[in-house]
Protein backbone atom coordinates (compact mmCIF):
# COMPACT_ATOMS: atom_id res chain seq x y z
CA UNK A 1 0.00 0.00 0.00
CA UNK A 2 1.39 3.37 -0.94
CA UNK A 3 0.20 5.84 1.66
CA UNK A 4 1.26 9.43 1.74
CA UNK A 5 3.33 10.05 4.84
CA UNK A 6 2.60 12.73 7.38
CA UNK A 7 5.06 15.18 5.91
CA UNK A 8 3.64 14.81 2.42
CA UNK A 9 0.14 15.26 3.75
CA UNK A 10 1.03 18.31 5.78
CA UNK A 11 2.93 19.81 2.89
CA UNK A 12 -0.19 19.41 0.81
CA UNK A 13 -2.22 21.39 3.32
CA UNK A 14 0.49 23.92 4.02
CA UNK A 15 0.69 24.85 0.36
CA UNK A 16 -2.63 26.66 0.82
CA UNK A 17 -1.22 28.55 3.79
CA UNK A 18 1.36 30.55 1.91
CA UNK A 19 1.05 34.24 2.59
CA UNK A 20 -1.37 33.91 5.51
CA UNK A 21 -0.99 36.17 8.53
CA UNK A 22 -2.85 34.11 11.11
CA UNK A 23 -4.00 30.51 11.41
CA UNK A 24 -7.78 30.34 11.77
CA UNK A 25 -9.96 27.68 13.34
CA UNK A 26 -10.91 26.45 9.87
CA UNK A 27 -7.28 26.15 8.89
CA UNK A 28 -6.62 24.09 11.98
CA UNK A 29 -9.53 21.79 11.19
CA UNK A 30 -8.02 21.18 7.79
CA UNK A 31 -4.57 20.54 9.21
CA UNK A 32 -5.78 18.21 11.92
CA UNK A 33 -7.85 16.21 9.44
CA UNK A 34 -4.69 15.44 7.50
CA UNK A 35 -2.70 14.71 10.65
CA UNK A 36 -5.43 12.34 11.80
CA UNK A 37 -5.45 10.35 8.55
CA UNK A 38 -1.67 10.25 8.37
CA UNK A 39 -1.28 9.04 11.95
CA UNK A 40 -3.95 6.37 11.51
CA UNK A 41 -2.23 5.21 8.35
CA UNK A 42 1.06 5.17 10.23
CA UNK A 43 -0.55 2.66 12.61
CA UNK A 44 -1.01 4.96 15.57
CA UNK A 45 -3.87 3.80 17.79
CA UNK A 46 -7.11 5.82 17.52
CA UNK A 47 -7.34 7.10 21.13
CA UNK A 48 -3.75 8.32 20.84
CA UNK A 49 -4.52 10.09 17.60
CA UNK A 50 -7.57 11.77 19.15
CA UNK A 51 -5.64 13.05 22.14
CA UNK A 52 -2.86 14.27 19.93
CA UNK A 53 -5.30 16.15 17.69
CA UNK A 54 -6.88 17.84 20.71
CA UNK A 55 -3.50 19.16 21.82
CA UNK A 56 -2.63 20.41 18.36
CA UNK A 57 -5.97 22.13 18.01
CA UNK A 58 -5.63 23.92 21.30
CA UNK A 59 -2.18 25.17 20.46
CA UNK A 60 -2.51 25.98 16.77
CA UNK A 61 -5.67 28.11 16.74
CA UNK A 62 -4.84 31.79 16.72
CA UNK A 63 -1.15 31.34 16.11
CA UNK A 64 0.16 34.68 14.92
CA UNK A 65 2.41 34.41 11.97
CA UNK A 66 5.70 35.96 12.91
CA UNK A 67 8.00 37.69 10.49
CA UNK A 68 10.53 34.93 10.64
CA UNK A 69 8.32 31.86 10.38
CA UNK A 70 5.76 30.87 7.79
CA UNK A 71 2.52 29.42 9.28
CA UNK A 72 3.42 26.05 7.84
CA UNK A 73 6.68 26.04 9.74
CA UNK A 74 4.94 27.12 12.90
CA UNK A 75 2.43 24.29 12.71
CA UNK A 76 5.18 21.79 11.94
CA UNK A 77 7.00 23.10 15.00
CA UNK A 78 3.90 22.61 17.17
CA UNK A 79 3.32 19.11 15.77
CA UNK A 80 6.97 18.27 16.34
CA UNK A 81 6.88 19.52 19.93
CA UNK A 82 3.70 17.62 20.73
CA UNK A 83 5.00 14.41 19.16
CA UNK A 84 8.21 14.75 21.14
CA UNK A 85 6.25 15.35 24.35
CA UNK A 86 4.02 12.31 23.82
CA UNK A 87 7.11 10.23 23.08
CA UNK A 88 8.44 11.09 26.52
CA UNK A 89 10.26 14.40 26.15
CA UNK A 90 13.80 13.22 26.78
CA UNK A 91 15.74 9.97 26.97
CA UNK A 92 15.35 7.70 30.00
CA UNK A 93 18.34 5.79 31.35
CA UNK A 94 18.36 2.14 32.29
CA UNK A 95 17.65 1.56 35.97
CA UNK A 96 20.42 0.30 38.21
CA UNK A 97 20.09 -1.59 41.47
CA UNK A 98 21.94 -0.11 44.49
CA UNK A 99 23.47 -3.51 45.08
CA UNK A 100 24.66 -5.98 42.47
CA UNK A 101 23.40 -7.60 40.45
CA UNK A 102 21.02 -5.36 38.55
CA UNK A 103 18.46 -7.79 37.19
CA UNK A 104 16.91 -7.09 33.82
CA UNK A 105 14.11 -9.27 32.55
CA UNK A 106 13.21 -9.34 28.86
CA UNK A 107 9.71 -10.12 27.65
CA UNK A 108 7.91 -10.07 24.34
CA UNK A 109 6.40 -12.13 21.57
CA UNK A 110 8.47 -14.67 19.69
CA UNK A 111 10.42 -13.05 16.88
CA UNK A 112 10.22 -9.56 18.37
CA UNK A 113 13.98 -9.54 18.89
CA UNK A 114 14.38 -10.38 22.59
CA UNK A 115 17.38 -12.64 22.27
CA UNK A 116 19.12 -10.29 19.88
CA UNK A 117 18.43 -7.38 22.24
CA UNK A 118 19.80 -9.34 25.21
CA UNK A 119 23.06 -9.71 23.29
CA UNK A 120 23.09 -6.07 22.23
CA UNK A 121 22.47 -4.88 25.79
CA UNK A 122 25.11 -7.20 27.24
CA UNK A 123 27.60 -5.84 24.75
CA UNK A 124 26.62 -2.25 25.52
CA UNK A 125 26.98 -2.77 29.27
CA UNK A 126 30.40 -4.30 28.73
CA UNK A 127 31.53 -1.52 26.41
CA UNK A 128 30.17 1.43 28.38
CA UNK A 129 30.46 0.28 31.99
CA UNK A 130 33.03 -2.44 31.81
CA UNK A 131 30.27 -4.64 33.24
CA UNK A 132 30.33 -8.41 33.75
CA UNK A 133 26.84 -9.54 32.81
CA UNK A 134 25.41 -13.03 33.02
CA UNK A 135 22.59 -14.07 30.71
CA UNK A 136 19.99 -16.64 31.75
CA UNK A 137 18.26 -18.77 29.11
CA UNK A 138 14.73 -19.16 30.45
CA UNK A 139 13.01 -20.00 27.17
CA UNK A 140 12.62 -23.76 27.53
CA UNK A 141 10.04 -24.25 24.81
CA UNK A 142 12.33 -23.86 21.86
CA UNK A 143 15.70 -25.63 22.03
CA UNK A 144 16.80 -23.29 19.24
CA UNK A 145 16.21 -20.32 21.52
CA UNK A 146 18.78 -21.55 24.05
CA UNK A 147 21.30 -22.26 21.31
CA UNK A 148 20.70 -18.82 19.84
CA UNK A 149 21.32 -17.11 23.18
CA UNK A 150 24.51 -19.14 23.62
CA UNK A 151 25.67 -18.11 20.15
CA UNK A 152 24.97 -14.47 20.96
CA UNK A 153 26.75 -14.91 24.31
CA UNK A 154 29.84 -16.23 22.54
CA UNK A 155 29.81 -13.30 20.12
CA UNK A 156 29.82 -10.73 22.92
CA UNK A 157 31.88 -12.88 25.30
CA UNK A 158 29.20 -13.06 27.99
CA UNK A 159 28.42 -16.33 29.83
CA UNK A 160 24.97 -17.90 29.44
CA UNK A 161 23.37 -19.94 32.20
CA UNK A 162 21.03 -22.67 30.99
CA UNK A 163 19.64 -26.01 32.12
CA UNK A 164 18.34 -27.23 28.80
CA UNK A 165 14.62 -27.59 28.15
CA UNK A 166 13.53 -30.05 30.87
CA UNK A 167 13.60 -27.76 33.88
CA UNK A 168 10.93 -25.26 34.94
CA UNK A 169 12.08 -21.80 33.79
CA UNK A 170 11.30 -20.31 37.22
CA UNK A 171 13.79 -22.75 38.75
CA UNK A 172 16.34 -21.98 36.05
CA UNK A 173 16.08 -18.30 36.95
CA UNK A 174 16.44 -19.06 40.65
CA UNK A 175 19.57 -21.13 40.04
CA UNK A 176 20.99 -18.61 37.58
CA UNK A 177 20.58 -15.80 40.10
CA UNK A 178 22.33 -17.85 42.79
CA UNK A 179 25.23 -18.37 40.40
CA UNK A 180 25.31 -14.65 39.56
CA UNK A 181 25.59 -13.79 43.27
CA UNK A 182 28.27 -16.37 43.82
CA UNK A 183 30.33 -15.13 40.86
CA UNK A 184 29.57 -11.49 41.60
CA UNK A 185 28.13 -10.62 38.22
CA UNK A 186 26.93 -7.02 38.19
CA UNK A 187 24.12 -7.54 35.69
CA UNK A 188 21.80 -10.44 34.99
CA UNK A 189 19.83 -10.46 31.76
CA UNK A 190 16.96 -12.93 31.71
CA UNK A 191 15.76 -14.05 28.29
CA UNK A 192 12.20 -15.36 28.69
CA UNK A 193 9.99 -17.36 26.35
CA UNK A 194 7.83 -15.70 23.74
CA UNK A 195 4.81 -17.07 21.93
CA UNK A 196 3.38 -16.15 18.59
CA UNK A 197 0.54 -14.54 20.45
CA UNK A 198 -0.19 -13.62 24.05
CA UNK A 199 -1.47 -16.54 26.10
CA UNK A 200 -2.28 -16.91 29.78
CA UNK A 201 0.23 -19.67 30.44
CA UNK A 202 3.07 -17.53 29.18
CA UNK A 203 1.87 -14.58 31.22
CA UNK A 204 1.61 -16.71 34.38
CA UNK A 205 5.15 -17.91 33.85
CA UNK A 206 6.41 -14.35 33.41
CA UNK A 207 4.61 -13.29 36.60
CA UNK A 208 6.34 -16.13 38.47
CA UNK A 209 9.74 -15.22 37.04
CA UNK A 210 9.17 -11.61 38.04
CA UNK A 211 8.29 -12.68 41.60
CA UNK A 212 11.45 -14.76 41.92
CA UNK A 213 13.83 -12.33 40.21
CA UNK A 214 12.47 -9.01 41.53
CA UNK A 215 14.03 -7.30 38.50
CA UNK A 216 15.02 -3.64 38.42
CA UNK A 217 13.90 -3.53 34.81
CA UNK A 218 11.25 -5.47 32.93
CA UNK A 219 11.84 -4.53 29.33
CA UNK A 220 9.21 -5.35 26.78
CA UNK A 221 10.69 -5.95 23.34
CA UNK A 222 8.35 -5.16 20.45
CA UNK A 223 8.75 -5.25 16.70
CA UNK A 224 8.11 -1.82 15.16
CA UNK A 225 7.03 -3.44 11.93
CA UNK A 226 3.94 -4.91 13.60
CA UNK A 227 2.35 -1.50 14.18
CA UNK A 228 -1.01 -1.73 15.96
CA UNK A 229 -0.22 -5.26 17.17
CA UNK A 230 2.83 -3.87 18.96
CA UNK A 231 0.61 -1.37 20.76
CA UNK A 232 -1.89 -4.08 21.78
CA UNK A 233 0.96 -6.31 22.98
CA UNK A 234 2.43 -3.47 25.01
CA UNK A 235 -0.92 -2.75 26.65
CA UNK A 236 -1.43 -6.37 27.65
CA UNK A 237 2.12 -6.98 28.90
CA UNK A 238 2.05 -3.76 30.87
CA UNK A 239 -1.28 -4.64 32.51
CA UNK A 240 0.02 -8.06 33.47
CA UNK A 241 3.64 -7.37 34.36
CA UNK A 242 3.84 -3.64 35.05
CA UNK A 243 6.82 -3.31 32.74
CA UNK A 244 9.46 -0.66 33.33
CA UNK A 245 10.38 0.16 29.77
CA UNK A 246 10.04 -0.72 26.11
CA UNK A 247 12.54 -1.65 23.42
CA UNK A 248 11.43 -1.11 19.86
CA UNK A 249 13.24 -3.28 17.35
CA UNK A 250 13.53 -3.28 13.58
CA UNK A 251 13.40 0.47 13.21
CA UNK A 252 15.84 -0.02 10.35
CA UNK A 253 12.86 -1.36 8.42
CA UNK A 254 10.33 0.54 6.39
CA UNK A 255 8.13 1.80 9.21
CA UNK A 256 7.16 5.28 10.30
CA UNK A 257 7.30 4.50 13.97
CA UNK A 258 3.61 4.97 14.73
CA UNK A 259 3.91 2.08 17.17
CA UNK A 260 6.29 4.10 19.33
CA UNK A 261 3.74 6.86 19.74
CA UNK A 262 0.91 4.49 20.69
CA UNK A 263 3.04 2.41 23.03
CA UNK A 264 4.31 5.38 24.97
CA UNK A 265 0.88 6.92 25.25
CA UNK A 266 -1.00 3.69 26.09
CA UNK A 267 1.46 2.31 28.64
CA UNK A 268 2.97 5.53 29.97
CA UNK A 269 6.26 3.62 30.09
CA UNK A 270 9.44 5.00 28.54
CA UNK A 271 10.96 3.62 25.38
CA UNK A 272 14.59 3.07 26.34
CA UNK A 273 16.38 1.69 23.32
CA UNK A 274 15.73 1.01 19.67
CA UNK A 275 17.07 -1.79 17.54
CA UNK A 276 18.31 -0.64 14.17
CA UNK A 277 19.62 -3.82 12.60
CA UNK A 278 20.54 -7.45 13.10
CA UNK A 279 24.13 -6.83 14.17
CA UNK A 280 24.91 -6.73 17.90
CA UNK A 281 26.14 -3.15 17.56
CA UNK A 282 22.80 -2.01 16.10
CA UNK A 283 21.38 -0.57 19.31
CA UNK A 284 20.61 3.08 19.98
CA UNK A 285 19.30 5.05 22.93
CA UNK A 286 15.75 6.24 22.23
CA UNK A 287 15.53 10.00 21.72
CA UNK A 288 11.93 11.29 21.50
CA UNK A 289 12.86 14.30 19.35
CA UNK A 290 14.61 12.11 16.80
CA UNK A 291 11.62 9.79 16.67
CA UNK A 292 9.34 12.75 16.14
CA UNK A 293 11.47 13.92 13.23
CA UNK A 294 11.32 10.45 11.78
CA UNK A 295 7.53 10.35 12.00
CA UNK A 296 7.32 13.79 10.44
CA UNK A 297 9.75 12.69 7.72
Long-range CB pairs of 237-243 (<8 Å, 24+ gap) are: 237/107, 237/108, 237/198, 238/266, 238/267, 238/269, 240/203, 240/206, 240/207, 241/107, 241/203, 241/206, 241/207, 241/210, 242/218, 243/107, 243/218, 243/219, 243/267, 243/269
277: contact with ligand GDP by CB under 6 A: yes
Which is nearer to ligand GDP, 84 or 115 (by Cβ)?
Answer: 115
Q: Site for ligand GDP (CB under 6 A): which residue of 32, 74, 102, 116?
A: 116
Least Å distance between CB 117 and ligand GDP?
7
116/216 with CB nearer ligand GDP = 116
238 versus 249: smaller Cβ distance to ligand GDP: 249
Q: In this chain, which of 9, 114, 185, 269 binds ligand GDP, going by CB under 6 A?
A: 114
Residue (102 or 249) nearer to ligand GDP, CB = 249
- 10 among the known binding-site residues? no
**Binding of ligand GDP by 232 (CB under 6 A):** no
One residue of 267, 275, 288, 295 binding ligand GDP per CB under 6 A: 275
Q: Which is nearer to ligand GDP, 143 or 253 (CB)?
A: 253
Give Rg (Cα) of the chain: 22
With beta carbons less than 8 A apart as the criterion, state whether 111 and 163 touch: no
Choose the stretch contacting ligand GDP; rule: CB under 6 A; options: 17-25, 47-55, 159-167, 248-256: 248-256
Residues 141, 155 contacting (CB under 8 angstroms): no
Decide if residue 284 touches ligand GDP (CB under 6 A): no
Q: Is 251 labelled as part of a ligand binding site?
A: yes
Tell whether residue 110 is a contact of ligand GDP (CB under 6 A).
yes
Q: For residue 176, how far is the Cα from the chain centroid? A: 27
Please enumerate, by residue number, every residue annotated as part of a binding site for GTP.
108-115, 191-195, 249-252
Amino acid sequence: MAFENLTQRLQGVFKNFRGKKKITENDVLEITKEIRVALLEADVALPVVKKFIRNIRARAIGVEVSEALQPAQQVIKIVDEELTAILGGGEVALGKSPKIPTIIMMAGLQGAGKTTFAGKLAKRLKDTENARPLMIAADVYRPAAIEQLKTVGKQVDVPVYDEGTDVNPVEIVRHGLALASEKRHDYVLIDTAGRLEIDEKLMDELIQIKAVAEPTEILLVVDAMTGQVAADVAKKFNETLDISGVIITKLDGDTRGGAALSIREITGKPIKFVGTGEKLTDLEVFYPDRMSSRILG
